[in-house]
Chain A
């Protein structure tokens, strides 16, 4: 009896909480399909009387983000071009770094790890100006390459942390046995470690994808017209103020900007948890 009551309580709490989490998304979505008149006269939660996806079309292809009125589409592709190399490179580096720090430790490697780890906690605004100067010297300022570079450098600490913590959990005996069989550094990595790394690769890919896709600060500062990511486009679009603030277009645009990362979590969320379970961030 007490058990059933307990179960009911648990389910109620979970459902109410789910409601709290879904509320903003629901509000954003129904606003994006309402007409402007309805938004003004109705209230937050009122269900639209007329569903129209016109706002979505406008957000994608014709909303104004400055002098250009081409919507978010080009920004979307800029983000894609930036995110894919950024995620792949930082994950790859994190993997080999983690491998070295967990399985091939040498004198001073722990200190190096700590030094790299501190990067996780750095407030990024500190980096802006010196990074701009350096990117300028390197000739890649205001370009997608520059953005990718910045994201790789800043993501290094997190990805290294994830892989290292995970690899620490792999028994050393495995490595020793392989070495007795004559395998070297790279062979062990590709033949033994990597195949076992699926959970942590998923965690890292998801984490990096989210961070890089959603970044605004670096995007606004280190890009120019044809490399501006979608967060910058969204900001321009939403801050475009006319006497008629088009809430529906703003909300549609926000959802478009958020869609890739949301989809990643919806479809790959379970890998994320699985990867965490396997020890991504365990002490």
Chain B
């Protein structure tokens, strides 16, 4: 039944109560989300430096932004980090979920072990991994002590490779969540389809590939959205793990915005950079939401 047809059956209270109930949250969102975005947008067109001010500056801040080398390093890093983080996180998560779905003994314990990193704050994760990946104290020293004298793992202190250490720590933290989502999804797949395929003689890997994974499309998309938003927002992790270094080789847009707005007294540039971040997020999310809504209307 369509919404308006439904509505026609409502009594007076029923027509207004839902709106009333939703109103506070909607208002909060309007003011604190969209209002602030507009405020921030305006700020990006002002000459704000240490504190916000209202002097118009046109596109000056955006120009400064686009000429800033640190910004482009941040953007590049975001692409590298996001694609590797999402890709490996998905792959590992799905793999673990499939394995765990095989009626394993001790599934409960294993599941908890894979899931607990999500409980940690990124600050804790970054600190722990920073220590483990430190050449003088962590993994490299361990290998040396074990006799592998020529083993090197200095990614953390290498300008070229520092962003990849953020991937390692990030994947460690989030792949358990992917696993949980896919495990839930796998459990929801109808057994009879699988049994029918098995009777037809298909091997287990083939069944997964051809039947089960395609059936999990909705879970793929939800996971993709959640991982993307974690990737874009990554701030705590980078700050704790590398601080953006060595130099500024591992900065990401979130840390760039923070530095500009708060540390460097270039608030206008910071606002411009967060508008860019927002635009990227919107470009990814709005089509998804649109398809969601359209799907629901038909469903």
Contacts and interface: CB of A to CB of B under 8 A. Distances in A.
Say if the two chains contact directly (CB < 8 Å): yes
Interface of A: 7, 10-11, 13-14, 17-18, 20-25, 27-28, 43-45, 93, 96-97, 99-101, 104-107, 109-110, 112, 114-131, 134, 153, 156-157, 160, 184-185, 210, 213-217, 231, 234-235, 238, 247, 250-251, 254, 257-258, 261-262, 264-266, 269-270, 272-273, 276-277, 281-283
Contact of B25 (A11, A97, A118): A97
Per DSSP, chain B at the interface is helix
A11 to B, nearest CB: 7
A24 to B, nearest CB: 4
A201 B246 CA distance: 43
B100 to A, nearest CB: 7
A6 to B, nearest CB: 8
Contacts of B102: 7, 10
A87 to B, nearest CB: 14
Interface size class of B (residues with CB under 8 A): 35 or more
Nearest to A213: B121
Interface of B: 3-4, 6-7, 13-15, 17-19, 21-22, 24-26, 28-37, 39-40, 43, 52, 92, 95-96, 99-100, 102, 104, 108, 110-125, 127-129, 131-132, 137-139, 141-142, 145, 172, 176, 180-181, 183-185, 187-188, 217-219, 221-223, 225-226, 228-229, 232-233, 235-236, 254, 257-258, 261, 267, 274, 277-278, 281-282, 284-286, 289, 292-293, 295-297
B32 A21 contact: no
Contact of A109 (B22, B30, B219, B233): B22
Contact of B172 (A24, A262, A270, A281): A24
Contacts of A14: 96, 99-100, 104, 110
Given A21-B114, A254-B128, A121 B285 contact: yes
Contacts, number: 248
A124 B28 contact: no
B26 A115 contact: yes
27 contacts: A10-B99, A22-B113, A27-B128, A28-B128, A43-B142, A96-B21, A97-B21, A97-B22, A101-B22, A104-B17, A106-B3, A106-B18, A110-B293, A114-B292, A118-B33, A119-B33, A121-B232, A123-B278, A184-B13, A185-B14, A216-B121, A238-B127, A257-B121, A265-B112, A276-B184, A282-B188, A282-B218
A166 to B, nearest CB: 12
A48 B292 CA distance: 54
Given A118-B285, A156-B25, A185-B14, A262 B119 contact: yes
A71 to B, nearest CB: 17
Given A14-B110, A44-B137, 12 more contacts: A17-B96, A24-B125, A43-B141, A101-B22, A104-B17, A115-B34, A121-B285, A123-B278, A123-B281, A129-B267, A153-B33, A214-B123
Nearest to A46: B145
A121 B281 contact: yes
A219 B102 CA distance: 42
B29 A185 contact: no
Nearest to A259: B119
Q: What are the 3 tightest A-B residue pairs by CB atom distance, in nearest-first order?
A: A283-B218, A214-B121, A261-B119
A281 B222 contact: yes
Contact of B261 (A122, A125, A273): A125
B114 to A, nearest CB: 6
Contact of B141 (A44, A99, A118, A283): A44
A260 B18 CA distance: 36
B127 A254 contact: yes
A78 B114 CA distance: 29
A105 B6 contact: yes
B129 A265 contact: no
Contacts of A114: 289, 292-293
A131 B32 contact: yes
Given A114-B293, A258-B121, A282-B218, A107 B29 contact: no
Which of A10, A122, A124, A234 has the most chain B CB atoms closer than 10 A to its own CB?
Answer: A122
A238 B121 CA distance: 14
A275 B146 CA distance: 44
B281 A272 contact: no
Contacts of A124: 233
B80 to A, nearest CB: 18
A97 to B, nearest CB: 5
A250 B281 CA distance: 36
Contact of B116 (A43, A130, A184, A266): A266
Given A96-B21, A156-B25, A130 B36 contact: yes
A238 B13 CA distance: 56
Contacts of B122: 214, 216
Nearest to B299: A168
